[in-house]
Structure formats: C-alpha cells, structure tokens
Chains A and B, each alone.
Chain A
C-alpha cells in the first residue's frame, strides 16, 4: 500500500489486545501518550502509562455549573462526552518562558530560552476538540505573526481522535458544524464499537497516522462492523439536545450593545474567566517580565488589566466584560478569523461556577433584537 492509498481502504478493526500495544508503538515513535483519565473527580487529559489508565466504564454528567462522573455498566473506555480540559493546555501552554535577558560582558543579551516542548500523542480527542485546534491554528499560526511556541507544540503533537458517542446535555457541536463525527484534522481516528472496550474501527488521516497504524495488529472490518460504526455516530447525533441558533446572532449582538440584558448577566457573573480558560479556542495571553525571564501566560478578557490603559480599564464592569467575550466569540471572531470562535462543546457552561449558559444568553439577545418582550 503506498502512502497515498490510505484514504481509499476500508478502515480496519483494532481489537483490545492490539489497542493495548498502541502505547509501545507510540513510544517507539518517540511520543508520550496523553489521554483521558479520571483525576480529582473529572476526566482530564493527562499522561497515560497504558490503556489501564483510561476511564473504563465511567461517564460524565454535565449541567450548567455542574460536572460529575458516575459509573456505567459497560466496558466503554471512551464512554464520556469529552475531557474536562481540551487540547489547548497541551498546545497553547498556560505559562511558558519565551526568552531570558542576561548581562554578558557588560551588555544586555537576549537569548531564546523556551521550556522544552514535549512530543505527545493526544488520545481521545472529539470532533469538537479537532475543530477547536483548527480554529486555534488560524489564530496562532497566521503567516505574518505565527506564535513560535504554539507552532512547535503543534508540530510535536500527534492527534488521535475517538468519535463521540456520548454527548453531554450541554453539547451543541452540530449547530456549530463541529461534530459529533470527526471528519478530518486527525492523524488517526477510532470509533469504539459496542459493547465498548474491545473493538475500534480505525480511520487514517495522515501519512504519520498510516505509518503508526501499519505497526499495529489489525484485521479487516466486517460489513456489520462498518454498519455498527455508522449507527453509533448517528445515535450520538440524535442524542444532541442543545442548539445555538447562529442565524441573526451577529446582528443581535452588535445591535444589543446598550441593552440592559448585560446587567442581568452581570448580576450572576463572577468575572472569574473560567469560561475563557475552559474554552478550547480562547487564546488570549499576557506577556510578563519576571526579572530576567519573559513569559507568555494565559490571560482572559474578564480581567480588568486585560483592557487596562493609563488611568484604568476600558472594560471594568462585569457587564462589559461578558458582553465583550460573547460578542467576540459569536460575532466579531468571524470577521477576524473567518470562523466563529465556538465549537459547541459546552465547557463554558459546565465550568462556570454560576452556571451561565452562553446559548441561553445568545437566545435572549436575539429575542431582544427581534423585539420580544423581556
């Protein structure tokens, strides 16, 4: 099979034992496996020693401001909606050193001094996570101003998706055109077949993915298995309950700038920024000098310093901060990056301590624009 053939083949089946060898194969290629595991009450993206670390038989339950896990009575390894923190933490690192300044022969000297970039295989990404990476790429890899650290992290990262079969009640990926089925942007993509944990259908998305797959012990899929894989994705699609109506949204947000609805949101909002930190596409960073080192650190438009100018913050109130965030994410992002900034993962809703639901706020604003009585 030549390198170009991989798209044309029927995806093969990886059985449990061969799936377990994925770790050794990825290690041979120099990758550390980073995937889902239960940590401190949430399914997080963390380094995994083996398939035993995966959250077998665990599901997540999400409502606004609430996240819990519970056990499910089957053997699914990926039987949850998505990891609590997306791939962003591994690609756009929360705090990273960029350069350092020192005095050499009496002269100040600037040297690039970046934290080592780990070579990782991110396992278990959902379609929404892949879409988020695509959006982050647009932002962070713009030709004239690509971010060096992001570019290198991206270069060193292998993406192994697992199709989403278990959306949470807060997921609305379909209305954002982001899921639930992964259609590209991955090196490998698995579909976990029922009853879970013993058979995975494997699609290849890149030459690298093909190279890795060729080292794994697979067998051809039966017609029934191909059918099953379609069925589980269709079921996931059918289970999506939430939607974000994007029609008329940009206009509603722009025309609602002065609406008193923002004050009502502000009454509930902490301006803690958890929505932005949990969001897989929010990319804002601050650049800080700590003595001789210069660091890039996650920032958020919910901090007053974010819009700080001489004499104070442009957006000091919670109302203006929330308005800024949602208007950027769901309107002006489009003009800036030719896509909206939302993939419908619902993380901002679940991880908001106040349980503020961006789809509800967007709906309310559209209602205001259309003259609904409040």
Chain B
C-alpha cells in the first residue's frame, strides 16, 4: 500500500482551567502513542510547540469561559473544528472557578489581586456550551483517561460513543466495592452522580464528591435524606456550584 491513510487532525485547547484534563491525556503514556499514530496532533501547546493552523477534525477543549479572551477563543475553536468536545468539569459546567457566579466578582478581584483593574474577568464563569455548539461532553474533575481513550477510539472508528447516564453506584457494584453509604453511613454522592470515573473515589474508601455532575434524573430530595441536613448542604454545594453552573446564568 503506497497511499497513506488519512489521519484526522486533533487539537487540544485550554481556557480557564488547571491543565489537569490535558495532563490526563498525556498520562495515557503507551496509549497516547497509539492515539498519536491514529491522528495528527496539530495543536497541543501543553505537549508540543509545533502548532499547525486549522481547520481541525477534533478539538478537545479544557476549561471554562472566564474572560473576553477565552470567549473569543471558544468562537475561533468552533469555527475551525468539525467536532468540538468539552473535556472536564470546567468545560462542561464551569468548574470550581464558577463559585464566583454566586458572588460579586469585583469583590473577589479586589481581595485577591493587588491591581484588580488589570483583571479582565467576566461576572460569570461559564461552560463552553453557553457560547457555542458542543458535540460531546466528557465530564469529571479531571476526566477519566479510560473514558477519553474509549471516546477517541469510538469516534475515530466511526462508532457512536457511549456515555453512561446512570449513577456511580453501578460502577461500584460492577467492581465489587462495598457501598460506603450503607456500610459506613458516608454521605457518598454516588447515587446522584453520573458514572464514568469507574468508581474511583469509593474504590479508595472515599465517598463520591460528584465531580462528574448529576446523573440523569438525580433524586436530590432523596439524597438530602441520605446525607442528613448538614452534610447534604455541604456536598450539594459542590455538585451545584462547581459542576452544574446554570447555563446562561450570564446575560
């Protein structure tokens, strides 16, 4: 065979984020080499200074839109990409920095920075989907490497990627993790959190803290009863503020 098969171009972008999701991709190690063999990595500043101009077949976008610059970048990414994939809690629902949506950003700026006037922060910190059409969302803080690899494999082979809509409980039961809510009275958020992490935290004897966001039909009222008033409020703040910023909370 003389003709080289076409290799789709992959771009990896960063908005307001900690880089942890991009690092998850780099941490794939051997599997990363396989991905690199199947695609042309055209833009991935975290990994290489070699940047190729668009258009791109697949863009993985990490981070939330927090200022005018990221708002402009997200438009550019959309216009240059066939498939836009939001990766991680920041890109899919705002992330930890979205806590400011429930406070006064000007007050935050003055208490954190010596020259607040230099900071161009929008009042709200929002997910990518508040600005452009997103084709797929990979949840988690950070994303699961396994889910990312399975997603890329499916997309590259023309299959419809599978995303669970059920809760973390299924993953605990498949793995054989003893239920922390039932056996220890832990305020585990597993019953209302979307699966995909492979029951990572419960597997290490820690209750789920909801980083994959709410699952389909999450029964929050039942969770309040499970966790008890105090713990429920503390934990629900995590799932509501960090990982479920109301879309379009800004004008």
Residues of A within 8 A of B (CB): 39-42, 44, 65-68, 84-85, 89, 94-95, 267-274, 277-278, 288, 290-291, 297-298, 300, 302-305, 316-318, 350-354
Contact = CB atoms under 8 A, between A and B. Distances in A.
A318 B217 contact: yes
A353 B226 contact: yes
Contacts of A316: 217
Nearest to A44: B178
Nearest to B174: A94
Contact of B173 (A288, A298, A354): A298
CB-CB nearest 9 A-B residue pairs: A277-B173, A272-B169, A270-B191, A41-B183, A40-B178, A42-B178, A353-B181, A94-B174, A272-B191
A269 B185 contact: no
Contact of B205 (A40, A274, A290, A298): A40
Contacts of B182: 65-67, 350-353
Most buried by B among A39, A303, A353: A353
A353 B179 contact: yes
Contacts of B167: 270-273
Contacts of B153: 291
Contacts of A40: 177-178, 183, 205
A300 B216 contact: no
26 contacts: A40-B183, A40-B205, A42-B183, A44-B176, A65-B181, A65-B182, A66-B182, A67-B179, A89-B176, A267-B221, A267-B222, A268-B219, A268-B222, A271-B217, A271-B219, A272-B167, A272-B169, A274-B169, A274-B191, A298-B174, A300-B170, A318-B217, A351-B179, A353-B169, A353-B190, A354-B225
A304 B226 contact: no
Given A40-B183, A350-B182, A273 B169 contact: yes
Given A271-B167, A353-B179, 19 more contacts: A39-B178, A42-B183, A65-B181, A67-B179, A84-B178, A94-B174, A267-B222, A270-B169, A270-B192, A270-B222, A271-B217, A273-B166, A274-B169, A274-B179, A277-B173, A298-B170, A303-B166, A317-B217, A353-B191
Contacts of B165: 303-305
A297 B178 contact: no
Nearest to A288: B162
Contacts of B191: 270, 272, 274, 353-354
B120 to A, nearest CB: 42
B222 A304 contact: no
Interface string B69-96: 0000000000000000000000000000
A42 B176 CA distance: 11
Contacts of A272: 166-167, 169-170, 190-191
Contacts of B27: none
Contact of A94 (B173, B192, B219): B173
A120 to B, nearest CB: 15
B178 A269 contact: no
A268 B177 CA distance: 23
A316 B223 CA distance: 19
A270 B219 contact: yes
Contacts of A318: 217, 219
Given A274-B169, A353-B226, A66 B178 contact: no
Dominant SS among interface residues on chain B: helix
A303 B217 CA distance: 11
Interface of B: 150, 153, 157, 162, 165-167, 169-170, 173-179, 181-185, 188, 190-192, 205, 216-217, 219, 221-223, 225-226
A352 B223 CA distance: 12
Given A273-B173, A277-B173, A354 B222 contact: yes
B54 to A, nearest CB: 29
Nearest to B218: A270
A68 B250 CA distance: 47
A274 B173 contact: yes
A41 B174 contact: no
A272 B190 CA distance: 9
B193 to A, nearest CB: 10
A302 B219 CA distance: 13
Nearest to A276: B173
A144 B103 CA distance: 64
A39 B153 CA distance: 36
Contacts of B219: 267-271, 318
A304 B216 contact: yes
A278 B226 CA distance: 19
Contacts of B190: 272, 353
B236 to A, nearest CB: 14
A95 B176 CA distance: 11
A277 B199 CA distance: 15
A297 B217 contact: no
A32 to B, nearest CB: 16
A28 B166 CA distance: 44
Contacts of B179: 67, 274, 351, 353
Contacts of A297: 174
Contacts of A277: 169-170, 173-174
B222 A67 contact: no
Contacts of A298: 170, 173-174
